[in-house]
Structure 1
Amino acid sequence: MAEIILLHSAQGLRPGVGAAAEALREGGHMVRTPDYYDGEVFDELEAGLRKRDEIGPEEIGRRFRRIGNEVRGPTVFAGFSLGAYGAQLLAVTHPMARGALLFHGAVPLDEVTEGAWPARVPVQVHHAERDPWVDESVVAGLGAAVGAGFECFAYPGDAHLFADPDLPGYSGESAALMWKRVRDFLSRI
């Protein structure tokens, strides 16, 4: 069974990330939730984005790679929003990657590699239908790059981070369906 590295959003290692990790552990998975934000947690997205900008994109990339350097066995890289960028970066570059779960975000493939998506790494993307932070053309481009191992699920609404029970846009129905699809994905790996 692959370990899961679950990366938080720009709002930091919030309780919702811990709840997601516990839900995955209940399914028998080993889950790590590394903190790449120096222990800071933000209730407001804008404050989290200021922290992201303070750290800077190059340092955030280095922090993601350091997390990857600790991986020794088969791993599914997963992340929420900004953490989805890290999960995508590690899934495409790490030799032990066995899957990628991208929650509420995806980036163009050329932002994480100059090469092709590895055929051995399936991807699942989950986002709200009208999430203002998700570019459908980017998701479609990633799907074309991944090929047969790609799945994308769009859920009703426009809330970013709709699966975090502590945030205003939480949708219990969508979150439950998302976690069911995630468990199905993990069972195939």
Structure 2
Amino acid sequence: MSGDLVILHSAYGLTRGVQAVADALAATGRPVHVPDYYRGRVFTTQAQGIAHRDAIGYATLLDRVRGDIAGLDERVSFLGFSLGASFAHRLVAERPTMGHLVLVGNTNPVSGPWPGVPVQVHRFEDDAWVKPDDVADLKAAVELSGAMFEDHVVPGHGHLFTERHLPEYDPARVETFVASVHDFLDWA
């Protein structure tokens, strides 16, 4: 089994959906850390969450994440949801020996060579927050580094299928997602 896993929440905050995924992955025996860089604030609409993100600032939130994970092994793996995926993706440059990277509902543009970290992406076919060109560039960079890349595309329109308050929530898909992440962290 791989080492520790850090789960980074979306702009909605540390929701019950994120906590449920964390609990399911922890139940497999994996140590899971879920920093709350919103410090207890949880939102039910995307607009509220984004307004909170913008009021604090992306850089300040990323610094909170850095502080929250300080002291964890550099080989820890990351799973990020939307905003958290953006943070996790950025942290690859600072932690090039991280174990694995799982991105849900977001990817960043690739800048520079990829350090050989295996990547798994989960996204809807039609998601305003995911640019297919960024996914293709990430895939090319990851595979060029010799690491494994998986792209799990959910048909239709949506963003975060793990959030119970959203119309795209799907408990069966969440179960499949957790199993896929568990297998990826153990195999890659």
Q: TM-score, normalised by structure 1?
A: 0.90
Tell whether the 8 Å contact from 1:156 to 1:174 is kept in structure 2 after alignment.
no
Aligned length: 184
CA RMSD between the two structures: 1.6
* Seq. identity, %: 40
Shift of 1:176: 2.5
1:162 aligned residue: 161
Question: Per the alignment, in what secondary structure is the counterpart of residue 129 of structure 1?
Answer: strand
Question: Per the alignment, in what secondary structure is the counterpart of residue 166 of structure 2?
Answer: coil
Match of 2:114 among 107, 112, 117: 117
Q: Does 2:135 correspond to 1:139?
A: yes
Tell whether the 8 Å contact from 2:120 to 2:149 is kept in structure 1 after alignment.
yes
1:173 aligned residue: 172
1:2 aligned residue: 3
Greater displacement, 148-157 / 76-85: 148-157
Q: In 2, distance between residues paired with 1:78 and 1:5?
A: 6
Q: In 1, distance between residues paired with 2:68 and 2:101?
A: 15
Q: For structure 2, which runs of at least 5 residues remain unmatched after alignment?
A: none
Instruction: Please list the CA deviations of residues 17-36 of structure 1 after superposition, one character each: whole Å capped at 9, or x if unmatched.
Output: 11000110111111010011
Q: Does 2:90 correspond to 1:94?
A: no
Q: In 2, distance between residues paired with 1:92 and 1:177?
A: 29
Output aligned runs, 1:69-84, within 5 Å.
69-72=70-73, 74-84=75-85
Shift of 1:65: 2.4
AA of the residue aligned to 1:116: P
2:49 aligned residue: 48
Shift of 1:7: 0.3
Tell whether the 8 Å contact from 1:79 to 1:86 is kept in structure 2 after alignment.
yes
Which structure has more relative contact order (CA 8 Å, sep 6+)? It is 2
